[in-house]
Amino acid sequence: MTPKRIVIVGGGTAGWLAAMMLSDVAARKGWGAAVTVVESSRIGTIGVGEGSTAVFRQMLGHFGLSEAEFLRETGATIKYGIRHRDWRRVGHHYDGPIDDPGLVTGGLPLDAYAVAAGRSVGQAHLFQHLMDKGRAPVALRGGRQVAAGPFHHAYHFDQALVGAWLRRKARGIAVIDDEVAGIETGAAGIAALRMVSGARVEGDFFVDASGFKRALILGLGAEWISYADVLPVNRAMPFWVDLKPGQEIPPMTVAWAQKNGWLWQIPTQERFGMGYVYSDAHIGPEAAQAEVEAALGHKIEPRRDIKIDAGRLRAPWIGNCVALGLASSFLEPLEATSIHGTITQLMMLAEWLPLPDGAARYNAAVGAQVDDFRDFIRLHYVTERRDSGFWCDVAGSLPGALQDRLDLWATRLPRPSDFAPFALGLPHLQGQLYTPVLDGLGLLSRAAARAEMADAPLRDRTRAAHAGLVAEYTRAAGQCLPHRAWLDSLREKVS
Ligand SMILES: Cc1cc2nc3c(=O)[nH]c(=O)nc-3n(C[C@H](O)[C@H](O)[C@H](O)COP(=O)(O)OP(=O)(O)OC[C@H]3O[C@@H](n4cnc5c(N)ncnc54)[C@H](O)[C@@H]3O)c2cc1C
């Protein structure tokens, strides 16, 4: 059975992504469904959330939305990856470029070659070179803009501007400005929403995208699985720092480890969105602010004080209701997993909504996905730092699956077969994301890499492929336009 009336509660990024994607699939598959968004102008959106993954760009392409228009109208910038500063030890940094050179080299063990040769695995990534040079993903050839490579980049943006842009792009969606006061339940789950205005909103299928309020799913008895015992930070202090006129815009997120957590730095075209995510078991808000001001060398004005309860719902799909976005799960924003998760979860929902076992498939896949995100984020804390109570405390035990993987990867490098394919072939954590982090933290064994390179013909082929990529990507990045100048040119074209 396909629903005829889909009601989405929440007008944040998750709600409007759901409206766009579900109305699109309903039209393409002939469900004949009407989509309504219920949002409350009295309750704001979260107001942070600024780094995406490459899936966001794929989503724009799927809907035929123009990247140039998106960048121009939302003030977004390009993201090639994340620079991790002071994580392994103070004064050390490593980068996590998000492209996958394995796509163009037919599975040669480039990472093993780099580790055996004592070189950073990032050198064979085009995105590492674009990060280092601060370039746009395009070069000018014969007066035309040509893509630097075949890989999808990600974006940095202001969540509120992107939510408003998605709202403008979504077609044929009814909008109700009201606040959900409660739910009426029936055999299928939710029968109707009771609104603060006194109105009733009926539907066949409901999406709870009401953020941390979880306005629908809690009424269906949803259970929260906390990750507090695994992930150490539980509080966020977002603030903004203006870009200086003419200042170059770095095409990367910076995650800068501090004594009691870490600072994010994400550029849009106007400013750096920044924030300190920290453990309030180790430091209070006032001291945290002082710690940030000392690190940056200037005063800051915190915009909010956000409590983070890291975790996920045991079952995000109950009866005829699916929780999405912050209502479904939340992890510290170290690898931009939240909006990525929302988009991929919507793809699964669109596929499985008509199936009798859709909810079971969905709940199993989303649970595994978010648990994997948790383990990947936890890995970042496996460092040499012991210079504060926070870093000594996080040196404790790891989730079993992560410990098993680290034990295995101490004996050999990660292989594609170590990562199970994700549902529907959707992008998920794989070696190209894990390896730069493992390498940066010094968790890959050079002796094991050398053993993998012992076969001389394989070593020669891999060395040649590696040298070819480094030369090609150095040249390609050198030809690309400066990031800020390119973003400015997109604005000038229409003015
Ligand atoms: C500190 C921090 C940093 C983050 N950084 C990143 C990042 O770098 N990358 C990333 O991918 N994600 C990040 N996120 C997560 C990201 O912000 C969210 O995934 C994204 O903004 C989607 O939020 P949402 O739509 O689920 O919720 P919200 O933005 O909170 O929207 C909730 C909506 O529900 C409505 N609502 C609430 N209650 C009711 C009710 N009773 N009746 C009617 N309407 C209601 C509100 O009006 C609002 O429209 C971050 C989050 C935090 C807290």
Cα separation, 236 vs 338, whole angstroms: 15
Q: Can you give the pLDDT at residue 430?
A: 81
Rounded to the nearest whole angstrom, what is the distance from the C-alpha of residue 13 to the centroid of ligand 1? Answer: 7
Rounded to the nearest whole angstrom, what is the distance from the C-alpha of residue 53 to the centroid of ligand 1? Answer: 17
Q: In terms of C-beta distances under 8 Å and separation of at least 24 residues, what long-range contacts does 385-393 make, across chains too?
A: 385/86, 385/87, 385/88, 385/89, 385/90, 385/257, 387/90, 387/259, 388/259, 388/260, 388/282, 389/282, 390/232, 390/259, 390/260, 390/261, 390/278, 390/279, 390/282, 390/283, 391/259, 393/232, 393/282
Q: Can you give the pLDDT at residue 396?
A: 81
Q: Can you give the pLDDT at residue 227?
A: 96
Domain boundaries 5-50+158-224+309-374, corresponding CATH code: 3.50.50.60
Give per-residue pLDDT as tens, 233-286: 999 999 999 998 888 999 999 999 999 999 999 999 999 999 999 999 999 999
Around Cβ 219, how many Cβ atoms within 10 Å?
Answer: 19
Residue 10 CA: nearest ligand 1 atom is 34
Rounded to the nearest whole angstrom, what is the distance from the C-alpha of residue 46 to the centroid of ligand 1? Answer: 4
Testing ligand 1's pocket by substitution, the residue of 159, 240, 266 carrying the most ligand atoms inside 8 A of its CB is: 159
- Residue pair 308/332 in contact by the 8 Å Cβ criterion: yes
Domain pair 5-50+158-224+309-374 / 79-155+229-308+379-452, same fold:
yes
Rounded to the nearest whole angstrom, what is the distance from the C-alpha of residue 400 to the centroid of ligand 1? Answer: 31
First to last CA, the chain: 49
Rounded to the nearest whole angstrom, what is the distance from the C-alpha of residue 44 to the centroid of ligand 1? Answer: 9
- Residue pair 129/476 in contact by the 8 Å Cβ criterion: yes
Q: Look-up: residue for tokens 């492929």?
A: 465
Q: Can you give the pLDDT at residue 46?
A: 85
Q: Whose CA is nearest to atom 14 of ligand 1?
A: 49
Q: Is a pLDDT exceeding 60 seen at residue 495? A: no
Cα separation, 342 vs 357, whole angstroms: 21
Give per-residue pLDDT as tens, 95-145: 999 998 888 887 889 999 999 999 999 999 999 999 999 999 999 888 888
Rounded to the nearest whole angstrom, what is the distance from the C-alpha of residue 11 to the centroid of ligand 1? Answer: 9
Q: Can you state the percent helix, strand and coil of the chain, rounding each to 5?
A: 40, 20, 35
Residue 179 CA: nearest ligand 1 atom is 42
Task: Output the average pLDDT for the chain.
Answer: 94
Q: Is a pLDDT exceeding 80 seen at residue 494? A: no
Cα separation, 143 vs 42, whole angstroms: 49
Q: Is a pLDDT exceeding 80 seen at residue 14? A: yes
Cα separation, 93 vs 440, whole angstroms: 7
- Residue pair 191/203 in contact by the 8 Å Cβ criterion: no
Q: Can you give the pLDDT at residue 468?
A: 94
Q: Are strands 81-85 and 253-257 parallel, antiparallel or unpaired?
A: parallel
Kindly state the tokens that stand for 251: 């095409």
Rounded to the nearest whole angstrom, what is the distance from the C-alpha of residue 315 to the centroid of ligand 1? Answer: 19
Q: Where are the domains positioned within the chain?
A: 5-50+158-224+309-374, 79-155+229-308+379-452
Kindly state the tokens that stand for 149: 């490579």
* Pick from 67, 226, 69, 224: nearest CA to 137: 67
Q: Is a pLDDT exceeding 80 seen at residue 374? A: yes
- Please give the CATH superfamily to which domain 79-155+229-308+379-452 belongs: FAD/NAD(P)-binding domain (3.50.50.60)
* Pick from 442, 441, 446, 421: nearest CA to 431: 421
Residue 266 CA: nearest ligand 1 atom is 8
Q: Is a pLDDT exceeding 90 seen at residue 432? A: no
Q: Which residues line the pocket of ligand 1, CB cutoff 6 A?
A: 9-15, 38-40, 43, 45-46, 48-52, 159, 179-180, 209-211, 213, 215, 236, 238, 275, 306, 325-327, 333, 336, 338-339, 342
Give per-residue pLDDT as tens, 411-429: 999 988 899 889 998 988 8
Rounded to the nearest whole angstrom, what is the distance from the C-alpha of residue 270 to the centroid of ligand 1? Answer: 22
DSSP secondary structure letter of residue 420 = P
Q: Which of 4-18, 35-49, 319-333 has the lowest mean pLDDT?
A: 35-49
Residue 212 CA: nearest ligand 1 atom is 30
Give per-residue pLDDT as tens, 440-483: 999 999 999 999 999 999 999 999 999 999 999 999 999 999 99
Average pLDDT on 83-92 reads 97
Around Cβ 216, how many Cβ atoms within 10 Å?
Answer: 28
Q: Whose CA is nearest to atom 41 of ligand 1?
A: 180
Q: Can you give the pLDDT at residue 309?
A: 94
Kindly state the tokens that stand for 245: 């006129």
Kindly state the tokens that stand for 458: 């394989």
Cα separation, 315 vs 306, whole angstroms: 24
Around Cβ 244, how many Cβ atoms within 10 Å?
Answer: 7
Cα separation, 191 vs 219, whole angstroms: 12
